[in-house]
Amino acid sequence: MRIEKMHQAEQERHPWKKYIHIAFLSADSGSIKVALNTDHRLESQVIHWNDFYAFGPLWKIHTEQGLVQRETWIMERFNNRFFHSLQDRENRAIHILKLLREIPDHRRIYLWCGDNVHDQVALRLAVYALQDKLNDVYIMNVTRLYPPTAHRYDPEITPLHIGSVPFEALEEIVNSYHSAQPVNHEIQELLEHEWLHLSLSTDTLRTFENGIIVGLDEHAFDEEILNCIRELQLSGDPEYVQDGYVKMGRVAGELSERKKVGSDPFIEYRIWHLISSGYLEFKGIPYAMYLYSVKIRD
């Protein structure tokens, strides 16, 4: 109840704010706030929610039952998740979904995303939550908005995340929101339908390929993880490899650069599964990635 009153007070505190910007990660909301120029910042409210949808159950998480099942699954597998669940509680999905439904009808709603699986899942969930609203809804996909500006910044990159956009380009994109066109009814219905399909799925890992969210088996990237460790071992780089053991932070960094295996928490979760299954050995302190190393078991 306290959190609901906080959201209500926040809405009442900004009656003049005409534009609601929704980001799907805390860091992305911060980038949008900083990128907004002074005039646009005064007329805008930026919110985010605290979750990550590349992994974990999606079954009916637009309901309290589904959210509880998801949080239970995550806390059973990620040892720091309980602590994080106590932080930033007002931005948990259960509260943000309610907040979306209560946005006054005269405000425009901008959904900020990129062509990555987390954003694309969250986008569909947000559109579903807004299905009965009269507001104009705008999808601001930085992967698609960046190319017209790329020649002035960095034409070599294809940003899949808001954080991958050069800041000057992000400023230009963010402050162009007035000229965006609202999503038409057919696209909204399609995204709502896709959310309902996702919400019945039982997979716990997913990727975004050719514009489609693809569900995977939980162990789908295990072979990639093992191959990465094997390659790093063979490199013999003394900065990262000692006695055949590779620093876990280096493993996570290399896998992230390959843009295939998902987030660091999921990588670490699978590493410990491979350790407990006898594929890997470790030495060090299994508390944080920079404190231990791994190698292929002989």
pLDDT of 82: 45
pLDDT tens, position by position, 159-205: 999 999 999 999 999 999 999 999 999 999 999 999 999 999 999 99
CATH number at residue 265: 1.10.10
pLDDT tens, position by position, 4-48: 555 455 555 555 589 999 999 999 999 999 999 988 999 999 999
Residue 45: name the closest of 94, 88, 102, 2 by CA. Answer: 102
Q: Are residues 28 and 175 in the same domain?
A: yes
CB 147 within 8 A of CB 120: no
**Average pLDDT for 145-157:** 95
Residue 66: name the closest of 195, 241, 216 by CA. Answer: 195
pLDDT of 27: 93
Residue 213 covered by a domain: no
Q: Are residues 247 and 199 in the same domain?
A: no
* Predicted confidence band of residue 50 (pLDDT cuts 50, 70, 90): confident
Residue 214 covered by a domain: no
**Percent share of the chain, pLDDT over 70:** 89
Number of domains in the chain: 2
**Residue 151 in this model has a pLDDT that exceeds 80:** yes
Residue 157 covered by a domain: yes
Task: Judge if pTM exceeds 0.85.
Answer: yes
Distances (CA, A) of 48 to 25, 126, 199: 6, 11, 20
Residue 216 covered by a domain: no
Going by the DSSP 8-state scheme, the letter that residue 286 receives in this structure is T
Residue 234 covered by a domain: yes
Six token digits for residue 298: 């002989």
Please say which residue of 173, 204, 235 terminates a domain. 204
Q: Are residues 188 and 242 in the same domain?
A: no
Backbone torsions φ then ψ of 57, nearest 5 degrees: -65, 145
Residue 70 covered by a domain: yes
Q: Are residues 70 and 197 in the same domain?
A: yes
How many other β-carbons are positioned within 10 Å of the β-carbon of residue 195? 24
pLDDT of 86: 46
Higher model confidence: residue 263 or residue 293?
293
Q: Are residues 113 and 22 in the same domain?
A: yes
Contacts of 5 (CB under 8 A, 6+ apart): none
Residue labelled with tokens 């965006």:
180
Q: Which amino acid is at 115?
A: D
Name the residue range of residue 288's domain: 222-296
Backbone torsions φ then ψ of 174, nearest 5 degrees: -60, -40
Please spell the DSSP secondary structure of 158-192, one letter per residue. --SSGGGS-HHHHHHHHTTGGGPPPPPHHHHHHHH
pLDDT tens, position by position, 254-287: 998 876 666 888 999 999 999 999 999 999 998 8
Q: Are residues 184 and 241 in the same domain?
A: no
Instruction: Give dist(CA 205, CA 198) in Å, integer.
Output: 12
